[in-house]
Structure 1
């Protein structure tokens, strides 16, 4: 494991005991958490994206603020729901963010997860999908997004200003941005597709398939098929792979109160019409966690682990979770504190 970071779902609600009562609380606390994580030497700060729910929904302004307030940490998403996006505008935003962050970004993009609204992307003005889940629309938009960030001409130039047949690219553009784009994959087949495109792979604590094997083994199959497809397609270099895990070192009585009685084991259920496999929560004494995580074949295969955090418990407690993992668990998995910048090939701010 070269890197680890936190993944915030960005929940907020005026519930008793919640430290995140409003959208303002959530947004400002996420920035503060990124700053604190950067000071700890944590490698990444990532946010989930959900629409029509009391959660983080528009990530680019938040990531921009996080990048501007930090020096080394990578900022990103897990994942942007492409069904809700204008691909050309997203390309412009992504380039601007990449420039501000000095290339310290990891934009996870995908079809997205089930939303509270039925075909909510249609309320955003995006219609015409033949797929009840909008997957066809997400793929088409993503293809245009990739063309745009690669600098391809995507609009006809005014013949009064440009030679006939001129095609104009979007601006601004950030060189190498495609190397910092990830596909959030929920199956082995979509992981292969991402490998063929030469993208990085982002895999969650949920896979929308069930092969009758433990979650980490199914996810390892996904990673192996992704890497094989990447090589077979002729792409050079070593693509990055991240996995998400719920990991809570129990080093205090408060940790034990929150997570000491968590159920153990994977879960299988139905989500979005698919029989799906959910990864388990790791909670225990540091030595116990190290032993369990060393047996996790997907963690072993990934270079980055995203820790899903209970953001409504507040900045101070979540920094405690990150610090406990960094001090007591991560070094045994091969991690060293981030003092220079994101993972190899991702420069720090000047």
Structure 2
């Protein structure tokens, strides 16, 4: 299977020694610049994480629209938007606008979101789960409303006193094909199967909130296999897309060794919110060795899109060099070639 590759930025900023992103403005503008550089290198996608109450990227649609206006080919997306925080109808309007600006290049990852520092942060935004409804249930129900909205379903009624007729109204604008470019960020095998059932693509998380004792890539590959089986059983009339993310830090210069030479290259297992979880490893080292390890990665083999996380605080030039190394020496080994 021919792979696509993209970068994934968390958009950190800190006014600290060595940081090239001292402010939120630095982080936003440099993300746009890195997307432009990535497109020139032949990279297929520019993706951002979304976190609230953190010095990280938080409001994706202005940023995605700006990237879409400054580029012409590269896919633009998220990995992921925490749906607990969203008004799904307003989000449908924003997503459609960003997609139209980009010419239909939006690849939108949504999910329940990751653990955060805020206590019941989405409730501060005004979204309190009803009695007996979990935060995960709230995220899934909002996702289904969002999917209906971008599919053109009537979500409001006309006012007969003003229009003289009664009927349904869809949110506007509508973006053709956007419904097929929505992804669910799944942290378990069960949520991957749920995503297949509702007909959205799969973003398999670098953190799986379950652990069976097998290496991370094998557990992730099992999740992908279950997703594809559930997709086939649901009878959808298109082939789904599946992405995985990998932290890849090629060492080609002494400065790289200073930054990343001591990285742990093993899975990590621990308790997260009381659940035994498995975290994916970091691939740091010589490009040829990383290429061989990724080529042997079961989940990389099973997916069609690989997102490489970038240390965005090191600046555009540094991260463009990482992406160039990936395109020349690593990605070809996993089945990628320039468009």
Question: 1:130, 1:136 within 8 Å by CA — same for their partners in 2?
Answer: no
Return the offset for 1:169: 0.7
Tell me how large the CA RMSD over aligned residues is: 1.3
1:276 corresponds to which residue?
277
Question: 2:300, 2:334 within 8 Å by CA — same for their partners in 1?
Answer: no
Q: Deviations over 1:9-63 (max 9, x none)?
A: 1111111111111101100110111011011110000000000111100000000
1:50 corresponds to which residue?
51
1:225 corresponds to which residue?
226
Alpha-carbon distance in 2 for matches of 1:313, 1:131: 44
> In the superposition, relative to structure 1, how do residues 102 and 131 fare at CA in structure 2: closer, same or farther (>3 Å)?
farther
Alpha-carbon distance in 1 for matches of 2:146, 2:163: 24
> In the superposition, relative to structure 1, how do residues 200 and 163 fare at CA in structure 2: closer, same or farther (>3 Å)?
farther
> In the superposition, relative to structure 1, how do residues 171 and 277 fare at CA in structure 2: closer, same or farther (>3 Å)?
same
Alpha-carbon distance in 2 for matches of 1:106, 1:130: 33
2:9 corresponds to which residue?
8
The residue correspondences of 1:239-318 to structure 2 (distance < 5 A) are 239-318=240-319
Alpha-carbon distance in 1 for matches of 2:200, 2:137: 19
| Bigger Cα displacement from structure 2, 125-134 vs 200-209 | 125-134
Alpha-carbon distance in 1 for matches of 2:257, 2:116: 33
What secondary structure, in the 3-state scheme, does the structure 2 residue paired with 1:329 have?
A: helix
What secondary structure, in the 3-state scheme, does the structure 1 residue paired with 2:31 have?
A: helix
2:101 corresponds to which residue?
100
1:209 corresponds to which residue?
210
| Bigger Cα displacement from structure 2, 273-282 vs 185-194 | 273-282
1:152 corresponds to which residue?
153
Structure 2 unaligned regions, length at least 5: none
Q: Deviations over 1:223-274 (max 9, x none)?
A: 0000111110000221100000001222222222222221121000122332
The answer to whether structure 1 residue 238 and structure 2 residue 203 are counterparts is no
Question: 2:159, 2:166 within 8 Å by CA — same for their partners in 1?
Answer: no
Alpha-carbon distance in 2 for matches of 1:320, 1:21: 21
Alpha-carbon distance in 2 for matches of 1:13, 1:272: 27
1:343 corresponds to which residue?
none
1:18 corresponds to which residue?
19
TM-score (norm 2): 0.97
Alpha-carbon distance in 2 for matches of 1:285, 1:200: 32
The residue correspondences of 1:92-241 to structure 2 (distance < 5 A) are 92-130=93-131, 134-162=135-163, 165-241=166-242
Alpha-carbon distance in 2 for matches of 1:175, 1:105: 11
Question: 1:129, 1:136 within 8 Å by CA — same for their partners in 2?
Answer: no
Structure 1 unaligned regions, length at least 5: 339-350
The residue correspondences of 1:69-80 to structure 2 (distance < 5 A) are 69-80=70-81
What secondary structure, in the 3-state scheme, does the structure 1 residue paired with 2:104 have?
A: coil
The residue correspondences of 1:27-38 to structure 2 (distance < 5 A) are 27-38=28-39
Alpha-carbon distance in 1 for matches of 2:175, 2:25: 30
Question: 1:204, 1:245 within 8 Å by CA — same for their partners in 2?
Answer: no
Return the offset for 1:161: 4.0
1:335 corresponds to which residue?
336
